[in-house]
Amino acid sequence: ETGVTQTPRHLVMGMTNKKSLKCEQHLGHNAMYWYKQSAKKPLELMFVYSLEERVENNSVPSRFSPECPNSSHLFLHLHTLQPEDSALYLCASSQDFLAGQYNEQFFGPGTRLTVL
């Protein structure tokens, strides 16, 4: 148990659906992250939130919309996705985030997303 949970663990959706991924951390951390891991590709950092404010957005298409209502919860809202968006989506948290520094992160188990 890493202290970071993600739901659902598996999700299958059509290209016209709207769905949301949820991440919750029980570690009292101030920073949260969304990553995408596609087959045969390196991990890609999508978004970083620090104290509920988005501090990094790494050229992610607008069909992915993050939301951080408080420091314990992070959502990734999905709409009109493409089949190439099928991947493992990982959430992580860290104690703090300082610009240009990436300290030790604690990862959730991921959501395996399939877009048909």
Partner 1 sequence: KNEVEQSPQNLTAQEGEFITINCSYSVGISALHWLQQHPGGGIVSLFMLSSGKKKHGRLIATINIQEKHSSLHITASHPRDSAVYICAAVSPDKLIFGTGTRLQVFP
Tell me which of 16, 69, 83, 100 binds partner 1, using CB under 8 A: 100
Residue with smaller CB distance to partner 1, 24 or 79: 24
Distance CA(96)–CA(101), nearest Å, equals 9
Task: Confirm if 4 and 106 have CB atoms less than 8 A apart.
Answer: yes
Q: Which of residues 31-90 bind partner 1 (CB under 8 A)?
A: 37, 40-45, 58, 88, 90
CB of 9 to partner 1, least distance (A): 9
Tell me which of 21, 74, 110, 113 binds partner 1, using CB under 8 A: 110
DSSP code per residue over 52-111? TEEEEE-S--TTEEEEEEETTEEEEEEES--GGG-EEEEEEEES--BTTB----EE---E
CB of 116 to partner 1, least distance (A): 20
CB of 34 to partner 1, least distance (A): 13
Q: Of 13-21, 66-74, 77-85, 97-105, which segment contacts partner 1 by CB under 8 A?
A: 97-105
First to last CA, the chain: 31
